[in-house]
Amino acid sequence: MKYLVIIFCLTFVCFSCDNNQKTEEIATKPNIVLIYADDLGYGDLSSYGMTNVATPNIDQIASEGLKFNNAHTSSATCTPSRFSLLTGSYAWRKNGTGVARGNAAMIIEPGRETIASVLKRAGYYTGVVGKWHLGLGPDGGPDWNGDIKPGPREIGFDYSFLIPATGDRVPCVFVEDYKVVGLEADDPIEVSYDKPIGDEPTGKDHPELLKMKHSHGHNNTIINGIGRIGYMTGGHAARWVDEDIADVITEKAKNFIQQRKDEPFFLYFSTHDIHVPRVPHSRFVGKSGMGPRGDALVQLDWCTGEIIKVLDELGLSDNTLIIFTSDNGPVLDDGYQDDAVTKANGHKPAGVLRGGKYSAFDAGTRVPLIVKWPGKVAIGESDALTSQVDFLASFATLTEQRFNKADAGDSRNQLDVLLGKSKIDRDHVVEKGHALSIIKGDWKYIEPNNGWRYNKFVDIELGNDTIPQLYNLKDDISEQNNLAGSNPEKTNELATLLNEIKNN
Ligand code: NG6
Ligand code: CA
């Protein structure tokens, strides 16, 4: 009996130790705020060489943190980049991860490992606010008038407030957790991407009703004076006002932080800016001298400043890891006549890089990346080769979690690189425009393919070629000299490595 009592006491003591340790651990876990800008190019921030517009709030993160010069998203468009970011797996491994329609079904399988599920296991409260573009609902798409699931909550997010797809795709409504916000029962939403529905005017038939005209595409249902991709009826009270999107999502993000200030939280704040349609709030209009694209950039900087401010006010800044980056490279005319080209005033949105959004050239996928965590992240710059696909494994390491490697097989722990303790390149990085490419050290190889070389609608070189391409990014960052012919060894080495990764 005596022994039993001792065993009982020891067990109790051990449990308490464990609990105390846990509480302590959780108290020291940093909050993680991931600000994911849309279509923001490598040259679009003043900290990355932009001279026409100042981005002081984003630059402040850079001056108090670490600015990466060789950071990559895994794709040159949105849906696949976001898939890879959240799942730690390259999107091209899975069918159906191209740019999603606004009524696409949920693309990430419920229960799949994501950054959110890892952090939730670590005791974090997890939220996503802003652009989703990863599909919602079961096969066949969501029921906009009922419970919209599966969605973020089925892959580890405790809270979500979403632009379901993009600003230019219907339905133009916000979805909070499982419901369309402000939907009235007697005005149900119907959405189609195949054929016109309802009797609301389209941009194609009624250009006179448009406040922003399309340049290509974007001529279906008109909502708030803007032609969209796709047709929509109903949900009038729920429809967003484009001019207010940044205010609405920033307020939601701030509320999330305020409400969760006493526990570790993860906020994936996915801005609409600076994607089309660029319709910033009137207080930003004309502020950049570059038309709506520049004004949207000023608005993006404001959103970022609001997040920094609320963290400061709540005394959370010292214990918050902020990551600011973009989903893909820049584009000027992406389908609306918004003066992005005529008012560029010599600005090069991709800086010295070749190509742009959609491109296998580096402007498609090399993006700004800034990381700040006072006292923990080094201050300065890093030239280390990094990829967003590694955030999952790095956050898992930070929070001492195991993760499902079968799900997140492409994610590597690069925590020390993100914190600036190491400047060693990732062994290689794979990225996708139309073609797949791989970067290893100074070298980049682009697979041969039959895609368009140039997209005249967006005025972007896509980096496609029927012959292999090899560039030395150290000597030739603008990818001008294809060395595949003169350096067959390197070409073969990278082609073989890429094939291995594909078949892995
Ligand atoms: C394109 C759209 C473009 C943009 C893009 C997705 C047309 C003509 N162009 O198809 O405007 O919406 O898809 O952008 O419709 S992304 O950043 O979400 O990937
Ligand atoms: Ca994008």
Structure letter (DSSP) for residue 501: H
- Nearest CA, atom 8, ligand 1: 217
Q: Out of 17, 72, 78, 236, pick the active-site residue.
A: 78
Give the pocket of ligand 1 (CB within 6 Å).
Answer: 38-39, 77-78, 99, 133, 166, 168, 216-218, 229, 275-276, 328, 334-335
Q: Atom 10 of ligand 1 has which residue's CA nearest to it?
A: 99
Alpha helices (runs of H) in 127-271, residue ranges in sequence order:
245-259
Is the separation of the CB atoms in 327 and 38 below 8 Å? yes
Query: Measured in whole angstroms, how far is the alpha carbon of residue 185 from the centre of its chain?
Result: 33
Active site annotation includes 214? no
Domain segments of the chain as ranges: 29-186+234-419, 434-503
Q: At the top level of CATH, which class does the domain 434-503 belong to?
A: alpha beta
CA of 334 to the centre of ligand 1 (A): 7
Mutate to test the pocket of ligand 1, among 75, 81, 84, 99 (most ligand atoms within 8 A of CB): 99
Q: Which residue owns the Cα nearest ligand 1 atom 11? A: 334
Q: Choose the catalytic residue: 133, 218, 272, 347.
A: 133
Which residues on neighbouring strands pair with residue 37, listed in sequence order?
326
Q: Count, in order, helices (H) and strands (E) of the chain.
A: 9, 22
**Residue 133 designated active-site:** yes
Cα(504)–Cα(498) distance, integer angstroms: 10
The pTM of this model reads: 0.94
Query: Distance (Å, rounded) from C-alpha 437 to C-alpha 73?
Result: 12
The residues, any chain, with a CB within 8 Å of residue 456's CB and separated by 6 or more, are: none
Instruction: Determine whether domain 29-186+234-419 maps to CATH 3.40.50.720.
Output: no
Q: What is the pLDDT of residue 504?
A: 85
Q: What is the mean pLDDT of each run of 10 residues along the chain (504 residues)?
A: 41 37 54 98 97 97 98 98 98 97 98 98 98 98 98 98 98 98 98 96 98 97 98 98 98 98 98 98 98 98 98 98 98 98 97 98 98 97 98 97 97 98 97 97 97 97 98 98 98 98 93
DSSP per-residue letters across 30-59: PEEEEEEESS--TTSSGGGT--SS--HHHH
| Cis peptide preceding 188, ω within 30 of 0 | no
* Residue in 166, 213, 214 to alter for ligand 1 test, most ligand atoms within 8 A of Cβ: 166
The pLDDT score that the predictor gives to residue 55 is 98
Write down the pLDDT at residue 28: 58
AA letter at 500: E
CA of 78 to the centre of ligand 2 (A): 4
How far apart, in whole angstroms, are the C-alpha atoms of residue 274 and residue 37? 7
- Which helix (H) or strand (E) covers residue 130, if one does? strand 125-131
CA distance 226 to 89: 35
